[in-house]
A and B are shown apart, each in its own frame.
Chain A
Amino acid sequence: MSTQDVAVLGTYQSDFRTHDMSQTYVEQVQKAAIGAHRDAGMCVDDVDAAVISLAPTFFLGVADADRWAIDNIVCAGKPVLRVHTGGATGGSAVHIAYSLIQSRMARSVLIVGAERIAETPDAQKVLNLIFDAFYERDMPLSTNTLVALRACAYLHRHGFTQEDLARVVVRARRNAMKNPHAHLKGDITVDDVMASKMIAYPLKLFDICPRSSGCAAMILGNMDMAKRYRTNPAFVNGIGSLSDTYWMGDRTGPTADTDLVEYDLIRMAATTAYRRAGVTDPLKQIQVAEFYDPYSVNTPISLEQAGFCSRGTALRLEKDGYWDRDTGAVAVNPSGGTLCTNPIAITGLVRCIDAATQVMGTAGDMQVRNVRRALATASGGTAQFYNCTVFGAEPTHG
């Protein structure tokens, strides 16, 4: 069986903000679907199937809201799947769409979703409910607490400071100034980050992503579709995805398979994606990385585990400008990344769009020069789901 190449035919993302009171969930999803069709120059009959990227529905208060959206994306009668892997959802949705085309079960697939987390004032309660009912909800553990545990240990282990983390935020917000869709952006300083209020030691408000609302879509297609609809497509060169144990405590101690602090699940997922994509030296072969970094500490860890530098060095290299947009060794989150915009249900999809458009040369003001390959990642659960997608200017199999 020959493996099919898969191309990105069109993308769309809305501007992101705290809440979007001007439209409903299904209208948002429709807006994104229309946007991606327009970008690809396709009409609805040109799309065989859809994958809906939708994370916990407790945020928007409509269970299985994907079904509510079927008419709005003109998919009644078509094969539709909804994918949900928490924060990793958007990346998983791209992976399933990719498999649908590779398997020849579809020639083209729409991936679409929207987030409206501000529909409920109880979003934090929902986030607390993701934890185990017996062992953890009574405290409760929260996502902030979980990452704070990791961040403390990471800084302690490698001898870095809160100021070192602050530089990541400064670069992200600066990059986001060129991203018309970004939620948070601006010229801030290390002092500004340090002065923001402490949430869970060592994380301060600016070390943590906002909760964003908005919508996004991408259309993938086989080579025939690519020839018909796109002169400069990006190709999905390789995917890698892994799930770890839920239990953070199982990722500690000498007998553990993975390391809670270093998040080496990223390395395992990236290694698989690189193998499939033919990437042997990420620093040379990848020009843009769009990491899923909802917390400042995720960026250095991602760089180290995805093979762009060795363990415990990313924050030192950050200081030396290695990750800067135009002058660095690799442009890290030229969009501003998840630290600036986090619409949970579609964050992974937005990472993929921001990576693919860099390859297609359609990233607008965010465009980095001479991008041949870009990496997008997504992370979900208690940092237990991780997926990587490598986009390239050339098809993998030719």
Chain B
Amino acid sequence: MFPNIASEKIYVIGLAMHAAVHAERGLRLEEMVFEVSHRALRNAGISRKQLDNVVIAACDELDGRPISSMLMAAPAGGYLVDEIKVTESGLNGLAASVARLRSGEFQAGLVVSWCKSSKTDISAVMRLRNDPFYYRSLNIGGLVSDGMLAQAVASEFAVTRDEIAHRVRAAYARGASNPRGLGSPVPTVDVVENGAFTALPMRETDLAPLSDGAVTLVLCTERFLADNRQCVPLATLSGIGWASDSYLLGMHRLRSFTAARNAWEMALAQSGLSADELDFAELDTPSAWHEAALARIFGLIDAQISPSGSNFSQNPFFCMGLINAAEAVLKLSGAGGEPANARPRRAAAHGCHGFAQQGHVVAIFEAIGGQVN
């Protein structure tokens, strides 16, 4: 449905993540964000003045400020530079940033996103996201829509309770081995099987606990890279796709995952790859039900799914998708210390947002250096 004529590769030249933490109480938001952007620029080996565009992905309501980029633009790196804010999710910021770099008018960009889940009354924000007439009195958003999503997933894909319990424990186990994660212990089968229900069939234990975080990626075009030989690219971004689904929840909307499929196809088409050519995909999975659905929709086997642990490693709600992108790039660039010939070569990073995952974003990253397999 979508013209995938965009194919210019974009390079990731630097990144930084705030250390995973349940609640960051010591730093104000500006300080947290300055720290990650500052470190990401160092990592990229360029100065802030070499940036010609900055994209901030942030949510006013979560930040508790009507125009959060006013105070955040400069600490993020957006001082006397073209800076724009998008508000759906961290990975939507990456989509905007790639559009700017592929436009031919920009050469070096920074995309940053954050979320202090601990500081925010998230349930109040979710309530405020309900339309005032039909959903709000019932507070359909958040827990209720997640419950409905789980029900739809169970029935559409014949997902069993055993599979969910297995996925929860496996995700925690992957997260536990991620040195950048919270290191949460793997819950026992008993705990997972007997978690309290939030909204049937969703159990509290199916959901990944929220945490605080921030992440910055520094990106550039091929031309910039040619002009700045000191920059060592970490990975290329060869495709990005995104889509939003209907706001109105219904059986078709909850079961079809149209937006996820469209985002996935758009991204893969730009990169000329298919799902089985991906070594792994970091999936934004607020609960194991989401993982069960996305694995099937994207056609992924378990060995391809979220080696970082994704949300079960750290889960800064709004910027989770961009954290996934950073995790994917780190793996492709060999930050894990794997020898070059054993490194993964192609990966997807996924993010989602809205009630029952109304919106999805998918980015495809590839390792630097030839087509060796």
Q: How far is the CB of A28 from chain B (nearest CB, A)?
A: 14
Question: Does B246 count as interface, using CB distance less than 8 angstroms?
Answer: yes
State A100–B67 Cα separation when bound (angstroms): 24
A82 touching B87 by the CB < 8 A rule? yes
Question: Does A382 count as interface, using CB distance less than 8 angstroms?
Answer: yes
B84 touching A85 by the CB < 8 A rule? yes
Q: Which of B65, B86, B125 contacts A82 (CB 8 A)?
A: B86
Question: Does A83 count as interface, using CB distance less than 8 angstroms?
Answer: yes
Q: How far is the CB of B277 from chain A (nearest CB, A)?
A: 22
A67 touching B103 by the CB < 8 A rule? no
Annotate B89-107 by CB proximity to A: 1 below 8 A, 0 otherwise: 0001001101111111110
Q: Known contacts A127-B66, A246-B73; is A105 also within 8 Å of B85 by CB?
A: no
A103 touching B359 by the CB < 8 A rule? no
> By CB atoms of chain B within 10 A, which of A2, A62, A77, A85 has the most?
A77
CB nearest neighbor in A for B86: A81
Q: Chain A interface residue count: which class?
A: 35 or more
CB nearest neighbor in B for A64: B129
Q: Which of B79, B101, B105, B133 contacts A244 (CB 8 A)?
A: B79
Annotate A118-138 by CB proximity to B: 1 below 8 A, 0 otherwise: 000000001101101000000
Q: Which of B6, B66, B81, B88 contacts A242 (CB 8 A)?
A: B81
State A348–B305 Cα separation when bound (angstroms): 43
State A24–B5 Cα separation when bound (angstroms): 37
Q: How far is the CB of A57 from chain B (nearest CB, A)?
A: 7
Q: How far is the CB of B243 from chain A (nearest CB, A)?
A: 5
Q: Which residues of B are found within 8 Å of A58, using beta-carbon distances?
A: 60-61, 66
Q: Which residues of B are found within 8 Å of A276, using beta-carbon distances?
A: 105
Q: Which residues of A are found within 8 Å of B8, using beta-carbon distances?
A: 1, 103
Q: Which residues of A are found within 8 Å of B98, using beta-carbon distances?
A: 103, 105
Q: How far is the CB of B132 from chain A (nearest CB, A)?
A: 6
A103 touching B99 by the CB < 8 A rule? yes
Q: Which residues of B are found within 8 Å of A81, using beta-carbon distances?
A: 86, 88, 92, 95-96, 242
State A100–B82 Cα separation when bound (angstroms): 16
State A344–B3 Cα separation when bound (angstroms): 33
Q: How far is the CB of B101 from chain A (nearest CB, A)?
A: 8
Q: Which residues of B are found within 8 Å of A95, using beta-carbon distances?
A: 84
Annotate A69-102 by CB proximity to B: 1 below 8 A, 0 otherwise: 1110001111111111110000010011011101
State A1–B95 Cα separation when bound (angstroms): 19
> By CB atoms of chain A within 10 A, which of B70, B98, B133, B242 has the most?
B70
B80 touching A79 by the CB < 8 A rule? no
Q: Which of B74, B81, B84, B244 contacts A246 (CB 8 A)?
A: B74
Q: How far is the CB of A69 from chain B (nearest CB, A)?
A: 8
B66 touching A79 by the CB < 8 A rule? no
Q: Known contacts A70-B358, A76-B245, A129-B66; is A100 also within 8 Å of B99 by CB?
A: yes
Knowing that A79-B263, A83-B84 touch, tell me 15 more A-B residue pairs with CB under 8 angstroms: A24-B133, A62-B131, A66-B88, A77-B1, A78-B262, A81-B96, A99-B96, A100-B99, A103-B99, A103-B100, A105-B98, A242-B80, A243-B74, A246-B70, A385-B73
Residues on A facing B (Cβ under 8 Å): 1-4, 24, 26, 48, 54-58, 61-64, 66-71, 75-86, 92, 95-96, 98-100, 102-107, 126-127, 129-130, 132, 239-246, 257-258, 268, 272, 276, 380-382, 384-385
Can you list 22 A-B contacts (CB < 8 A)?
Answer: A1-B104, A57-B61, A61-B132, A64-B87, A67-B244, A70-B358, A77-B244, A78-B2, A79-B241, A83-B87, A84-B67, A85-B85, A86-B70, A102-B104, A103-B8, A103-B101, A104-B3, A242-B83, A243-B54, A243-B83, A246-B70, A246-B71
